[in-house]
Amino acid sequence: MSETYQQGEIEPITGKYVHAEIEGVDHRIYFEEAGPEDGIPLLCQHTAGNNCQEWRHLLTDDDITEEFRVIAHDLPYHGKSVPPTTQEWWKEDYTMTGKRFAETLVSIADALELEDPIYMGSSMGGNITLELADWYPDRFRALIGLECGAHSPGFYIDWLDHPEVNTTEVNAYSCWGLMAPQSPEAARRETMYLYEQGATGVFKGDLYYYSVDHDYRDKLDQVNADECPLYVVNGEYDYLTTPEDGRQTADGIGEGAIAVEMAEIGHFPMSEHPELFNAYVREILDHVTGEREEDLPDVLTPDHVGIELHPPAPAREKPAE
């Protein structure tokens, strides 16, 4: 992974718009991509209230983009995907549901004519792998649910959309502790910065799906991981969907579902610690493609993938006596 750039260097990411029909309405969807046109499509979904920039370090990872056509989109109302111009969307609260979310992802995959893509998403993007495997098991080659669980209650919080609260900052820093404290501070701060770009009510609207609408506790037998392999990959510091939640979800699904814990990382792995996450996800992707023959470990650690963690640097010097 190259993260050092020279003056004038242009990153190998292109951004375009594609039109996709969702619930019968045309939507202008922004997406970024990198990698060969004939590479294995890897469709990447951002977290609630965020946008595709969370994936920028995967999009610039040569090791990944040599083989995979990495595509990261903005959901409608997020990032550069504006609300549908034919709808009076300002007259109702934005509310995401599992049905709408799953249809959106399939419509984007169809609009981009992706053949046998791998889907990967985090948080709400992780949870939706259960609906995708339930309703659309034929559409994807494999599903990678990062920070995924059968149920993730308690985060549909009224204060995240309230006129007497600074929701710009609160929508971000309510998520501060979802990241591992040992992840690089600059990357964690950038993740918060991305959160601060969200439109009013969108984060909370996404969390309606995440914490209310999504509940597979009694429906895991409907998840067709035997038809579409499903990886439930949760970070050690994710307090909303813990690695243990991931194991229970995979156990409940049964055949075709694999749980893997990512050590020393949290709920926004791709943006909070890109170097470590990209190394972890390479192991998962190699398992999807068959390049890796042995089973994945129950816990992936920095040692497994040859990443040396940077010890937490002092935030500041102690004031002089």
Partner 1 sequence: MATETEFATHEWWESYKETVNSDPEMQVRGHDKFSENFYVEIGDERVLLEMDGGRIANLVPNPTLNHQWSFGVEGDREAWEEFVQETPPAFNHEIIASHYRSAVRNEDGHLMLTGNNKKIFQNLRAFQRTLDLMRVAHNNGGS
Residue 162 makes contact with partner 1 by CB under 8 A: yes
97-126 binders of partner 1 (CB under 8 A): none
* Strand-pair category, 68-73 with 40-45: parallel
Instruction: Identify the sign of the CA torsion 148, 254, 295, 142.
Output: negative
Question: How many Cβ atoms sit within 10 Å of the Cβ of residue 16?
Answer: 10
**Smallest gap from residue 203 Cβ to partner 1 (A):** 13
Residue 236 makes contact with partner 1 by CB under 8 A: yes
Among candidates 285, 240, 245, 284, which has minimal Cα distance to 266? 240
Among candidates 47, 31, 38, which has minimal Cα distance to 195? 47
Residue 170 makes contact with partner 1 by CB under 8 A: yes
**Smallest gap from residue 107 Cβ to partner 1 (A):** 33
Residue 317 makes contact with partner 1 by CB under 8 A: yes
What is d(CA 152, CA 267) in angstroms, rounded to the nearest whole number? 13
Residue 271 makes contact with partner 1 by CB under 8 A: no
Among candidates 38, 33, 29, 28, which has minimal Cα distance to 15? 33
Q: How big is the chain, counted in residues?
A: 321
Residue 36 makes contact with partner 1 by CB under 8 A: no
What is d(CA 246, CA 147) in angstroms, rounded to the nearest whole number? 8
What is d(CA 39, CA 61) in angstroms, rounded to the nearest whole number? 14
Q: Which of 173, 193, 298, 299 contacts partner 1 by CB under 8 A?
A: 173
Segment interacting with partner 1 (CB under 8 A) among 115-123, 216-224, 237-245, 247-255: 237-245
Residue 218, token pair as written in the block: 């009694």
Residue 136, token pair as written in the block: 């659309």
Residue 186 makes contact with partner 1 by CB under 8 A: no
Segment interacting with partner 1 (CB under 8 A) among 4-12, 40-48, 174-182, 295-303: 174-182
Residue 312 makes contact with partner 1 by CB under 8 A: yes
Which of 126, 256 has the CB closer to partner 1? 126
Residue 156 makes contact with partner 1 by CB under 8 A: no
What is d(CA 97, CA 99) in angstroms, rounded to the nearest whole number? 5
Residue 176 makes contact with partner 1 by CB under 8 A: yes
Residue 193 makes contact with partner 1 by CB under 8 A: no
Q: Which of 38, 86, 306, 315 contacts partner 1 by CB under 8 A?
A: 315
Rg of the chain over all Cα atoms, to the nearest angstrom: 19
**Smallest gap from residue 23 Cβ to partner 1 (A):** 31
> Which residues here bind partner 1, judged by CB under 8 A?
153-154, 159, 162, 164-166, 169-170, 172-174, 176-178, 180-182, 185, 236-237, 239-240, 312-319
